Amino acid sequence: MSNNNQKGDLFNQPVPDSILTEAKKLREKINDADYKYYVLAQPDIDDYEYDMLMKRLIELEKEYPSIITDDSPTQRVSGQVIDKFNSVSHSVPMLSLSNSYNFEELIDFDKRVRGFLKDAEIDTKNLEYVCELKFDGVAVSLVYENGVFIRGATRGDGFTGDDVTNNLKTIKAIPLSVTNSKIKNFEVRGEVFIKKKDFERINSEQELSGEKTFANPRNTAAGTLKLKDSKIVARRPLDFFSYYLRTNDIPLENHYNNLLLLKELKFPVNNYFKKVNNIEQVKEYCDEIENIRDTLPYEIDGVVVKVNSLKQQELIGNTSKSPRWAIAYKFKAKQKTTKIKDIKLQVGRTGTITPVAELEPVFLSGSKISRATLHNFDEIKRKDIRIGDTVVIEKGGDVIPKVVKVLKEFRPSNSKEFQFPEKCPVCGSNLEKPENEVNFYCVNYFCPAQVQGRIEHFVMRDAMDIRGLGENIIETLISKGFIKDITDIYRLSEYKEELINIERFGEKSVNNILSSIEKSKEKPYEKVLFAIGIRYIGERTANIIANNFPNIELLSSATEEKIDSIYEIGPKIAKSIVEFFRDEKGKKLIEGLKKAGLKFELEKKTIKENPFFKNKTFVITGTLNNYTRKQAEEIIESFGGKTSNSVSKNTDYLIVGDDPGSKLNKAKSLGVKILSEEEFISLLKQ
């Protein structure tokens, strides 16, 4: 660093020992206060004292910047707003849990577990389970090196997640470092969540400031973790419970002790965990928890049951999706009775007509419910749902409540069957019901409701992230004729003067909208693919598609069979993509967006050289689960390695996927080293 700038001077300034000692003491005090407040819920100093400690530490660090440590409590909020989250590969995949909904299913689970143990000649007398709460939040992984929190990531697809370290650092229940610990290098996993009370507070603040409210605490936590500005995250009261520990520093024996060790390391561990000896005791635990569920300050959606011994867990093993040694017991959805005042029709962005019941408002799982989805007309017919009916509604894992059944005994004598509409309630066009589908569709692509839906989807934060184009503004722009379809967004700057003159718009907000539109042109291809709103293409599917068809020309000319053959992509998606590009309107949309300067090509990721790969030759055989062969080859090459199609004495490594071909035998006979896909992935991380 240069010596003649001010920062350089500050950095080179000698730091008196007394300052170092004072800063260290302040950090310890602040960390301890955070621990007592956020983890133990037993604060021992007041806000004023806390603020004074923090103020003094900030002062010292400002005067002597060289004393700032990564784990200083002043570093919980990073100054920078990031553009895009980096991807992080999980060393051990983050699996999900299989579900059970009744005691019989738990007994089956217990039988399976005992069966596995018997096969492995383990005495099932030694079997213990640990029961925990199933928190309704977002799973994250926290990696500590030399005792310091260095990286935090979301679960993502289980193998790769988003690097959300800066956002996780703002959570005061998460220690930034561990001190005096027997382990220094480890990974902790757990759930980020928001307490019910905090969720309500955030929602009323959102309402007051005219912003969209969140549907439930889980969505709020997930949305918050994905914010690019950790300053905003810091203002949202995210919380954390840990439920998993992995380390090579010391041998670990069982899950129960791991939870105790996590507590010792000062991680928040929920107190309801319990060790039990048999499945009957598991049931007692589940019943007990279901009874107290509503009194808990955070939302849970069930109980998790885990085999205690880590050795037994390993013997029992995992399927590709979930461990066989654990199961979630999900609580039944909450129900309430109310009356249907009316049935309205909603028109979605792809023209889908969804009937929605308007209800007499009732409170269910902490929120006021005044609407419930009726899904489609077959459902109305099947359940014989009528206006004026008294119905049972239910809120399950889904955000939107649904009508479970009609209480016919309360039906008014003059009630009439619901009449299916023939015309779109918004534009009056004909409705169509494709064969083999349950939904009716409005056939008018330019129906204002469809345009509105398409634009709302396009500008969404997870899509093109265009700020300032809220529901009401989009509606105004459509009704005033400025926007007829997505491409018109990129022509709005031509109407700047007119826009400023629209009531309530003003120059500043128009400028903000226009610059956000301009900035959206930087969004990568996979986001564009998601944003254009091809039916059935969600965020994850868009990523998979973009990786397999790295530019729009390849995608638009691909056949249904070709798209269908991609791992994880089904025929419904393949058909929808092909139909989109066959349609003139789809073609026109892509042309228009290309002209506007949007990205329709995958960006090559630049990865640093890796000494393991450098100058070594790799061959791949069989099908890899996490990469296409082309992607794996690109990764190897970007790390400085070479790839080849055939095994020879010059081959250094053969990477073996599912159903390997003859290359495997050849490699064995030549003594070429063999790598499994998992080994390959873990090498990428080194």
Give the residues lining the site for ligand IVH (CB under 6 A): 95-97, 132, 134-135, 139, 155, 191, 243, 304, 323, 326, 328
3-state secondary structure string, 385-444?
CCCCCEEEEEECCCCCCEEEEECHHHCCCCCCCCCCCCECCCCCCEEECCCCCCCEEECC
Angstrom distance (rounded) from CA 95 to CA 157: 9
Q: Is 74 exposed, middle or buried (0-12, 13-18, 19+ CB in 10 A)?
A: middle
First to last CA, the chain: 29
H/E element, 620 = strand 617-621
- Show the DSSP H helices in 598-641 as ranges: 629-638
Radius of gyration of the chain (CA): 28
Contact 233, 172 (CB under 8 A): no
- What does the chain come to in residues? 686
Residue bearing tokens 């962005």: 349
DSSP string for 269-300:
--TT-EEESSHHHHHHHHHHHHHHGGGSSS-E
Residue 97 or 233: the one with the smaller Cβ distance to ligand IVH is: 97
Nearest 5°: the CA angle 677, 679, 680 is 60
Angstrom distance (rounded) from CA 676 to CA 620: 10
Torsion, Cα 503 509 515 518, to 10 degrees, reads -40
- The catalytic residue among 84, 111, 125, 134 is 134
Residue bearing tokens 């928890």: 289
Give Cβ neighbours of residue 86 (< 8 Å, ≥ 6 apart): 162, 163
Residue bearing tokens 């007041």: 46
DSSP code, position 551: B
685 is catalytic: no
Core vs surface per residue 35-58: b (16+ CB within 10 A) or e: bebbbeeeeeeeeeebeebbeebe
Helix axes 17-34, 47-63, angle to 10 degrees: 140
DSSP, collapsed to helix, strand or coil, labels residue 381 as helix
Residue 73 or 302: the one with the smaller Cβ distance to ligand IVH is: 302
CA atoms within 13 A on the CB side of 306: 26
Helix axes 571-582, 584-596, angle to 10 degrees: 80
H/E element, 590 = helix 584-596
Q: How far is CA 210 from the centre of its chain?
A: 25
Joined together, the tokens standing for residue 584 give: 């003139």
What are the catalytic residues? 134
